[in-house]
Amino acid sequence: MKLDSPEIKRIIKERSLYMCLECGKCSASCPRLLTGKEYSPRLLAHKLIAEPGDLLYIQNSVWECLTCGLCEERCPSGVEFSRAILDLRAHLAETMGLMGFRAHDGAVHSWMRIMTAPDLEQNRLDWLTPELKVTDQGPVAFFTGCVPYFDVFFSNIEVDTISLTRDSIRLLNFLDIEPAVLANERCCGHDLLWSGDVENFEKLCRLNYQEFKDNGVKEVITNCPECYQMLNVMMPRVIDGFDLEVTLLIDLLEREINKGGVSFKPLERTVTYQDPCRLGRGAGRYEQPRNLLKKIPGLKLNEMVNSRHSALCCGNSSFINCDAYSKRIQVERLGQARDTGAETLVTACPKCLIHTSCAMRDPVKGESLAMEVRGLVSILAGQIEWGQGETPRRTGGSRE
């Protein structure tokens, strides 16, 4: 059997794989290959085009990719590698039932598929504390994502991702925005889509869109870069007449803070910043998080060797292909973070928080990797205040 169906040919053409010059920059920068995995984006492109009969190699490789986008960043020919991987996964899952190796035995994907049941009445809001001002419906919604579930599932590594959501809402409340937090929002479907399960991803999109519409939502704010990619880029492809505004919380913060009047309490701390793949290379937000951090007096930001466009992935994406090589990537990344002399590693993605926290619990290497990891929003929420002489601005109704 050969992988030369019209769909594969379409993917090769549309994702510009024919433009490959075989220069090998992709493989030379691939974190997976650099940590020793037998995986090469350049060779995969070659096999797809010239040796479609090498089924085993292609099938294995398609699931190996982290989809971190570093190869695309380096590619001089504009090959859309991550999108090719996404399309290939969808195609192989549909035609051959392949879903790749899923970490945690697929438990994460399992609850995401359970959420496609239309009649589910979730109880996902018990993390809301009384001081958080939210509504149950309204024009501006905050999209929580899977963080309540992550904290339960990963309670053995004592990771606290729900604090990112609480601190996001604190920041919105500070700006006098009381977002709607929907009781029945579903997973955004990122991990299902990137593991090839298009059918259930689309079901989640439709259910979420319906939930937004039923609650009068016009703008969705999210803090998670993966949710942002799904809601902002992928959902409009599934929903006809998609008319929601999707806002990344850090964009909103930067805009509002730049209007003036807001100041930050000093924080004497040296930090370094981990660019999440979906936020940096995925959405081009390299400067916003850094600009926000730099507004805090006393805070010193030291950059890692690989930062911004060349940032290293936290080792794992979509909860597939977590293995010894992922761990090596994490060890490498945390080593870079420690080498900056920073006390705290700041990230903007709950998954980076989970994966770095997990790597630090290594019984042998743990101590050489351990450092405080905090969400960007948590640092901001702890320091933000109205400047002297300023009265809180009413931004709730008329933000532009």
Partner 1 sequence: MARAKVNILGIACNWSPYCCYNAAGQAGLELPPNFRLMRVMCIGRINQALILRAFESGADGLIVLECEDADCRYGPGPEVGHSNVARVRRLLHYLGIGQERLVEKTFLADQKQELVDTLWDFTAEIEAMGPNPANPQRERKAS
Interaction with partner 1 in 120-139: which residues (CB under 8 A)?
120-124
Question: Which lies closer to partner 1 via its Cβ, residue 148 or residue 282?
Answer: 148
Reduced to 3 states (helix: H, G, I; strand: E, B; else coil), residue 152 is helix
One of 199, 214, 287, 390 touching partner 1 (CB under 8 A): 199
Chain centroid to CA 385: how far?
28
Q: Specify the DSSP element, H or E, that contains 254.
A: helix 249-258
Q: Does 363 bind partner 1 (CB under 8 A)?
A: no
One of 104, 213, 259, 294 touching partner 1 (CB under 8 A): 104
Interaction with partner 1 in 299-338: which residues (CB under 8 A)?
none
Q: Does 166 bind partner 1 (CB under 8 A)?
A: no
CB of 74 to partner 1, least distance (A): 34
Question: Which lies closer to partner 1 via its Cβ, residue 58 or residue 253?
Answer: 58
Is residue 314 exposed (0-12), middle (13-18) or buried (19+ Cβ within 10 Å)?
Answer: buried
Q: Strand order in 344-347's β-sheet?
A: 299-301, 269-274, 344-347, 372-375
One of 35, 200, 274, 318 touching partner 1 (CB under 8 A): 200
C-beta of residue 68 within 8 angstroms of C-beta of residue 42:
no
CB of 312 to partner 1, least distance (A): 28
Distance (Å, whole) CA 84 – CA 14: 8
One of 148, 289, 315, 350 touching partner 1 (CB under 8 A): 148
Q: Does 155 bind partner 1 (CB under 8 A)?
A: yes
Identify the DSSP state of 394: -
Q: Does 111 bind partner 1 (CB under 8 A)?
A: yes
Span of 74-82, 148-156, 283-291, 300-308 interacting with partner 1 by CB under 8 A:
148-156
Span of 32-40, 95-103, 221-229, 326-334 interacting with partner 1 by CB under 8 A:
95-103
**In 90-167, beta strands by DSSP E:** 140-143
Side-chain half-sphere CA neighbours of 181 within 13 A:
23
Q: Does 31 bind partner 1 (CB under 8 A)?
A: no
- How many residues bind partner 1 (CB under 8 A)? The answer is 34
C-beta of residue 325 within 8 angstroms of C-beta of residue 35:
yes
Question: Which lies closer to partner 1 via its Cβ, residue 110 or residue 258?
Answer: 110
Distance (Å, whole) CA 67 – CA 197: 16
Q: Does 93 bind partner 1 (CB under 8 A)?
A: yes
Do β-strands 140-143 and 219-222 pair in parallel, antiparallel, or remain unpaired? parallel
Sign of CA dihedral 93, 97, 103, 108: positive
Q: Does 98 bind partner 1 (CB under 8 A)?
A: yes
Residues that bind partner 1 (CB under 8 A): 93-99, 104-107, 110-111, 113-124, 148-149, 152-153, 155-156, 197, 199-200
